Each structure stands twice: as structure tokens, then as C-alpha cells.
Amino acid sequence: MICPTQTCIVFTSEPRKGSVVWMNTQPHLPHISDDFIYLFLHANYYSIEKTKTCIENYFTSRASAPAIFADRDPHSPRMQTILHLG
């Protein structure tokens, strides 16, 4: 494997398999890429159960409070005003 940077992280497929199998049984969750799964796994120290909880919370939050996740352009006038406030 050729790495674009000096440091290369090689993921084993075992933790990811558990997450993917679980996600396929959750019809309310959208399909997410392997890279996105790796981010959740890494953030949760490769704990499958913590990753499941984190993914559930993430998508539940996005669904219940879409305004928080919408209009995230930092260059928009509204966001510039907010950023200049403090």
C-alpha cells in the first residue's frame, strides 16, 4: 500500500465488519462510506458498542435538529456575523 503521507494507518477489517453488519440491520440509518465508519470507530477507540451508540446519536441528532447541521458555509454572511460576534 502506498501512503500519501509519512505516517500510514492500516485498519483491520474485523471492527468494521461488526459495524457494517449492525448497520445493515438498522433500516432507519442511511448508507455511509467505509471512511465514515472508520472515523466513528477511531473516535470510539475501536469499541463496536460505543461506535454503534455514537452512530445512532449522530443520526438521531441530525434528524431531530436539522437546523444545527444546515447552512454550514463559514463564508456566508450569516455565519460571518456570528463568527465576528465572538
pTM: 0.66
Q: Computed from CA positions of residues 74, 77, 81, 84, in that sequence, does the dihedral angle turn out positive or negative?
A: positive
Picking from 53, 41, 31, the residue whose alpha carbon sits closest to that of residue 9 is 41
Cell of 54: 455514537
Mean pLDDT value across the chain = 80
Which sequence spans correspond to the domains of the chain? 13-85
What per-residue confidence (pLDDT) applies to 13? Answer: 60
pLDDT at 54 over 90: yes
Query: Which CA distances in Å does 66 have to 13, 47, 51, 76, 79?
Result: 32, 28, 22, 18, 16
Average pLDDT over residues 14-21: 68
